[in-house]
Amino acid sequence: MERSMLRRISKPALILVAAFILGTCSTSPTGRSQVLILGDDEMNEMGAEAFAEIKKQTPIERDPRINAYVNCIAEAILAVTEDDTGVTSWETVVFRDNSANAFALPGGKIGVHTGILPVAKNADQLASVMGHEVGHVIARHGNERVSQNAGIQAVVGAVGGVTGNETVAGAIGAGAQFGVLLPFSRAHESEADVIGQQLMARAGFNPQGAIDLWKNMAALSDGAPPEFMSTHPSHDTRIKDLESKLPENMLLYEQAKASGRNPNCRL
């Protein structure tokens, strides 16, 4: 951005940008610095509202065997999860949806699609999926994403308002998308992988399951876009990163088993 353009940005716009830059500083569970604008209570409320809407719109799986299996894994992971986002109890729901997916929202909400079950072929592999999703929540990735988008919109809006030129604002938006948003999202995914593998190991699930899960996912996704054009790391990158963490997480797994953590979750 040219200096002359900066001089022409209105004072209120500069204050809005500064509010983003000077937002609450926080540290993720892996030690990464974060800037957060919203409070945990606001994020938890938004997550609860969104989850309630999803439950209205998506069929819920009622099979007691499937629900017992998924909840068994969730309870084991949550028993070793350190969560300081203000959640007092978590809710896990299995949705009848053929997509190989799962998610977690602020406010302690976990959703698992039935379509992930054929891909996550055992409890260890499904634990890696659910640990990953819980990792997103306890690392406040949703808050960070909202805060990041708010800051980018502040800059784009300020420049667009000053120049009156939609092309300039659009160019900055495109630059933000490929220069900030996508790498940042990959950072979230990679961090959630790390946290999830730790959680599953501490809960008594074999951390090798995370590697096996992503090998299964890779086999299903031939023709995926190149990593630099994707919001997620490539499967090969994820597998390599998880393999690098395997020795230390195997130690956590062995300690968990020795302490009596032996979740017997079966479908």
At CA 183, angle to CA 222 and CA 133, rounded to 5? 70
Catalytic residue check, 91 = no
The answer to whether the beta carbons of residues 85 and 113 sit under 8 Å apart is no
Phi and psi at residue 102, in whole multiples of 5°?
Answer: -150, 160
Quickly count: other Cβ atoms within 10 Å of residue 1's Cβ.
Answer: 11
Question: Cβ of 128: how many Cβ atoms within 10 Å?
Answer: 30
248: phi > 0 → left, psi -120 to 50 → alpha, else beta; which?
alpha
CA–CA distance from 82 to each of 87, 92, 154, 240 (Å)? 11, 17, 34, 26
Q: In the sheet that 91-95 helps form, which strands lie side by side, from edge to edge?
A: 91-95, 109-113, 102-105
Q: Which of 199, 225, 248, 197 is nearest to 82 (CA)?
A: 199
d(CA 29, CA 195) in angstroms, rounded, equals 8
Q: What is the DSSP string of 24-41?
A: EEEE-TTS-EEEE-S-HH
Considering the candidates 49, 53, 61, 133, report the single residue annotated as catalytic.
133
11 exposed, middle or buried (CB, 10 Å; 0-12, 13-18, 19+)?
exposed
Residues with catalytic function:
133
